[in-house]
Structure 1
Amino acid sequence: MRTARLIEEGRSFYHVVSRVVDRRMVFEAKDKEVFRNIMRNLEAFMGVRVVTYCLMSNHFHLLLEVPDRDELPELTEEELLAVLPRLHDGSAVLTVKQELERARKSGDERWHREILDRYEYRRGSLSFFLKELKQRVTLYMNKRLGRTGTLWEGRFKSVLVEGNQNALLTIAAYIDLNPVRAGIVNRPEEYRWCGYAESLSGTRNAKLAREGLGVALAESLADGDFKASWPRTRSRYRQFLFEEGEEREENAELGQRSRRGFSQEKIEAVTEKRGEMTVPEVLRDRVRYFCDGVVLGSAEFVDDVFARGKEKGLYGEKRTTGARKMRGAEWGSLRVLRDLQVNVIGSG
């Protein structure tokens, strides 16, 4: 049975995951670059901030900040024409520009506004952002591979994340550590298709990646003190990423590095903590809560989301409380809505 997707009103954060059909490894380096360009172009137009991300060979993770649509300034002609070239080819942009000119010269303000509204309604929407992203990537990949049909394995998964540093930092680090968990690299900055690595690069979008991490750390990097605040943010985030790092064992038989996991010695070392691992330790492995927990944050946040969902009939009469404790690590104040029972932490 599908779990109802929760879409918050107002400013909100989501961890989104989507996988390629049959989990085939289709994205090569050049494809990931195209994917990232599409993602950044849509970010510029739709006003949905990419806090951080990781693009793998058969799936992607995004941590997205969705704005309060009521607070988005109304789209102007100048703004639309400035961003359209990032979404459409020259002929399509010219067509829209000419239509706007005709409407403006006619003095018909309603016509002019209707043209702008064709694009306005998509801004600030999680669903439209992901729909456009996945469709555009599908068109590109189908053309490159000479294939047709769907590229993605069903609908995307999403977890509503509380907008505080504890929840956002945990999810952001989990996303940026994805290639480390997969055994592809030793350090996240070595994998250039993640938010952390992009923030350290000299590319044109490095500032966007840095501002995203500033959001996760509850720091404002968009003010005049950007150059001064970024080194502090970089240092704090890096420290969290590299806490409790583990050595990787080589798989000589396969000639490959093994997947990052916890050794028996490591497991025994945490028995003094009643068998619970710390958050930095457990982020080195797959955590189902981050993809299937539905809502993640403090007990108050999860209970509030549950109460509003209960009023809408999303949950049965027998369930009276929302927040559920998370197993497998010392999660502190973090709670989830869905009470997962099996394989909450593992290497699969």
Structure 2
Amino acid sequence: MASDHGGNVFEIARELNISPDEIVDLSSNVVDADLGVVRLRSRLPSEEPDELERLIEEKFSFQRNSVLVNAGTSQFIKDICCIFKNKKALILAPTYSEYEKQSRNFGLTVQYALSDEDNGFEFELEGINFSGFDVVFVCNPNNPTGVLLKKEGLLKTVKDNPNSFFVVDEAYMDFDFNRNSLLHQKLDNLCVLRSFSKLHGLAGLRIGWLYSSNGDFIEKLKALRPPWSVSEFALELAKAALDTDFTKRIEEIVNLRDYLIKRLKGFEMVRVFDSHANFVLFRLSGDPEDFFSYFKNNRLLLRSCENFYGLNKNFFRVSIKDRYSMELFLELLEGYFK
């Protein structure tokens, strides 16, 4: 019912014998974006994406050599696990599965700090023992719960645990208007991951960036990055994204998200959780396979969360796209429960 990273729209399309374009895909948390046409030059691209790195540093007023660009944040997660291979990792869960997958691929011992559904999946940082863990993975806002850790609390945790290296994945922080971001923090035990996939709509091009004030850590990651790790097409579109103001689009998504949460609270068979990202998590009281099949047969794809550690088949994630797809989802939901 679910793949590692959302519903497979191409597989469902083949099953229904239709085009993927005929499916409303609410399993993917990528925002559609129009960045115009990019003109590419017929030359061998730079071995390293240093031009884009400098542009990011200038845009965010970072110190020099504090930013790295690579083929998506998942590549950074893999390389970070390589640096910490055979050590101990703590993962705040339920969360993105690549933290565990890549940790185990590089021999890390994995433990979880599991949030509680009864508490709305909020993390209580004061009650977590970070001692003895070499690397800690934190997704903020968290996928798939949408929970947001406030800047003050998370920053205090990082400062209070200098022997643990914190990887804070802020792939969805744009939807919080960056108010709780840890960018600009000059701490040797911190790096922040950022993506061009979610808000900017460049998921298929595989490009992301990382910030850290730890020069030694940056150099270790740079040594693991192969030449030409990012295509020129991805680099040029990322530059266009940097120059694009997404404020209005973020506001639209936030308003639709809050509208959807309010509507979902009106269904007795659904428990919905508050979100600070571009998706909403809910738990179904009923048959999850019948529920998923109903939407699939109506050409709308949801994200089953059964493969997230700490969740089960009754949890689903709905991504916020546009007014039409939200109304369609709610109309089908009403039809299902009737």
Task: Tell me which protein shows more strand as a share of its residues.
Answer: 2
Q: Which structure's relative contact order is higher, taking Cα pairs within 8 Å and 6+ residues apart? A: 2
TM-score normalized by structure 1? Answer: 0.28
Task: Tell me which protein shows more helix as a share of its residues.
Answer: 1
TM-score normalized by structure 2? Answer: 0.29
Q: Between Structure 1 and Structure 2, whose CA radius of gyration is higher?
A: 1
